[in-house]
Amino acid sequence: MTVTFPNQQINYCTFDENVYKRAKEGENQIPQIRTELKNPKNEAQIIEDLFVLNLMLDNGVDKQKINDIYPELSRYNDTKSPNIQTFLAGIYRKTKIPDAFGPLVKMLIQDSINPPKDAHFDPTEEIGGAILDYLA
């Protein structure tokens, strides 16, 4: 697992090829992701799993399969990490899980009051976009 976090030179995460291979496995990866989100080793593992879910959605995996792991995803709804917030918002934007709308609004308000200090990008852009998609 190799994740490069946003820094002074890039305002996005980069991933090694294994992440893309995992995403191609589709639904077969969901049990592993579910387990890893319950007991993550570190933020990089969470980000990798969320990115795999995002790629799986882009590849046409049934949204309901992702909705089914909302209990694991929701553990991170109160995170202060701009990286996790951004990837969660992307997943919620694509799945429109009804229970995720409130946490998205909470994230937006939280980040508006106390903007992330170490962010090399603005996670509120993705969060706000997800909220707009819910309202559309």
Give me the torsion for CA of 117, 131, 40, 69, rounded to 10°. Answer: 180
| pTM: predicted TM-score of the whole model, two decimal places | 0.93
pLDDT score for 131: 97
For 38-78, the pLDDT digits (tens) are 999 999 999 999 999 999 999 999 999 999 999 999 999 99
CATH top class, domain 3-135: mainly alpha
Each domain of the chain, given as residue ranges in start order, spans 3-135
Q: What is the mean pLDDT of residues 129-134?
A: 96
For 77-92, the pLDDT digits (tens) are 999 999 999 999 999 9
pLDDT score for 75: 97
What are the structure tokens assigned to 116, written together? Answer: 């992330």
What are the structure tokens assigned to 8, written together? Answer: 């002074």
Q: What is the mean pLDDT of residues 25-40?
A: 96
